[in-house]
Amino acid sequence: MSGTQQLSEALRAFIKSCHWTFAKTYAATWPHEYIVRDRVDEELFIQLVRHIRENGYEGNFYTKRITYFDEDGMVYWTMGAPIQETIIVNRCTIEQTYEYRLKHGILPDPPKPPFPRPPVQPPAFSTAFTPEAIS
């Protein structure tokens, strides 16, 4: 990361033109929005990802280190996959970030581990309909 250079006018226009999808799954705990690479201009998407990574700052989300970039009251990030594999850019307000919520004592409860699924039992086989049982 080389610094905190602001977004270019082209990237600002790109961000404003995108339809950001609200992440319903995290509405109660970590409200944020996202864009998907194959639903937007791919060249500008890649430029945005590069800008976040080259001009952002390292921060935490619990124990995970993530590169964040602040612009106009919003915080942008990806999940850190190589650029060719990155398909999502996320954003939220500064007040919804982990660091802000940690500092102000308003973190949601940590996610609970999923319940273990019971093993799938194979169906019981009956010999009532086998050729041996009929004869």
Read off the pLDDT of residues 89-133 as tens digits, 9 standing for 90 and up. 999 999 999 999 999 999 998 766 666 666 666 666 555 555 555
Tokens 């500092």 belong to: 103
Specify the amino acid at residue 81: A
Residue 131 lies inside a defined structural domain of this protein: no
Domain that holds residue 80: 9-112
Which residues fall within 8 angstroms of residue 56, CB to CB, at 6 or more apart?
Answer: 1, 4, 67, 68, 69, 76, 77
Residue 20 lies inside a defined structural domain of this protein: yes
Residue 96 lies inside a defined structural domain of this protein: yes
Q: What is the pLDDT of residue 2?
A: 46
Read off the pLDDT of residues 38-87 as tens digits, 9 standing for 90 and up. 999 999 999 999 999 999 999 999 999 999 999 999 999 999 999 999 99
Residue 39 lies inside a defined structural domain of this protein: yes
Residue 19 lies inside a defined structural domain of this protein: yes
Total number of domains constituting the chain = 1
Residue 4 lies inside a defined structural domain of this protein: no
Helix (H, G, I), strand (E, B) or coil at 114: coil
Q: What is the pLDDT of residue 100?
A: 97
Q: Please, where are the H alpha helices in 7-97?
A: 9-17, 42-55
Tokens of 58: 């390292």
Tokens of 33: 């929005």
Tokens of 47: 């430029």
What sign does the dihedral 15-20-25-28 (CA atoms) show?
Answer: positive
